[in-house]
Amino acid sequence: MVKTLGEFLKSKGGVGLLVVLQNRGKTYSEIEPDVLITSSTISTRLDDACDLGVVEIIPARRHGRTLNEYHLTDFGEAVVQDLAMRGVVSNYRDMRTHYQSMKEKTEEFITWFHENPGEYAGFTEAHEETLIKRDEETSDEDNGDDDASREETSSKVIRPNPDEQLSTGDDDDDPEVGSEDNSSSDDSQHRLSDTDMQEKMKKHAVDSDDGNDEER
């Protein structure tokens, strides 16, 4: 947690957060793609900005829902205006533009590199494993057992939307439901009827008699 405005501006994402809120308030999900920091850092910076009084939260109705919008306070507006006068805001926006261009150019290079791995084949440090992009191989091991996949999918945590208030309620789903049905179904597959059991016993008796006749 930062204690001063100077610490906030020098912390990662501090300036960017104020710049993206300069023209209008935004929700968390609208802020996230416009700053060059991780989700956890965004949350920390927003908390810091609110504690310092440069940002405030204002509930807003969007598409029938109440969401938290983050707005610059009058204090925050004054800070951004002074940053803009010193070229900080324009430099940040230029950096964002250059960063996006860099990402696009890097993706273009990666695509070209995967299509032309032989360009680096002459280097002793380069190996086939690191030069050639291989398609994902499908195998029984990769696919995994169907039951295990379903169990893994069902165990994934659904994270709440940080823009909305959390609502509490009883969970009607019981993770144990269906376990007895599955076990009884498995048992029924291995359980023989009385008729089947009698036929197996008769066949075993006949086989035994034939074996005794051969010995005699």
Contact 57, 70 (CB under 8 A): yes
Per-residue model confidence (pLDDT) at position 195: 56
Contact 60, 66 (CB under 8 A): yes
Q: Which of 52-56, 101-105, 115-119, 181-185 has the lowest mean pLDDT?
A: 181-185
Per-residue model confidence (pLDDT) at position 10: 95
Task: Tell me what the mean pLDDT of segment 74-91 comes to.
Answer: 96
Convert the pLDDT of each residue in 93-133 to its tens digit. Answer: 999 899 889 999 999 998 888 888 788 878 888 777 776 66
Task: Tell me what the mean pLDDT of segment 65-89 comes to.
Answer: 96
Per-domain boundaries in the chain:
5-86, 92-131
pLDDT band at 52 (very low <50, low <70, confident <90, very high): very high
pLDDT of 177 above 50: no
Around Cβ 196, how many Cβ atoms within 10 Å?
Answer: 10
Per-residue model confidence (pLDDT) at position 124: 81
Buried b (16+ CB within 10 A) or exposed e, 113-135: eeeeeeeeeeeeeeeeeebeeee
Per-residue model confidence (pLDDT) at position 45: 95
* Between 162 and 175, the higher pLDDT residue: 162
Which tokens is 90 given? 């324009």
Class of domain 5-86: mainly alpha
Residue 35: name the closest of 15, 11, 10 by CA: 15
- Which pairs from 28-36 meet CB under 8 Å and 24+ separation? 28/68, 28/70, 28/162, 28/163, 29/161, 29/162, 29/163, 31/70, 34/96, 36/96, 36/99
- Sign of the C-alpha dihedral, residues 41, 47, 50, 52? negative
pLDDT of 155 above 50: no
Q: What is the mean pLDDT of the chain?
A: 75
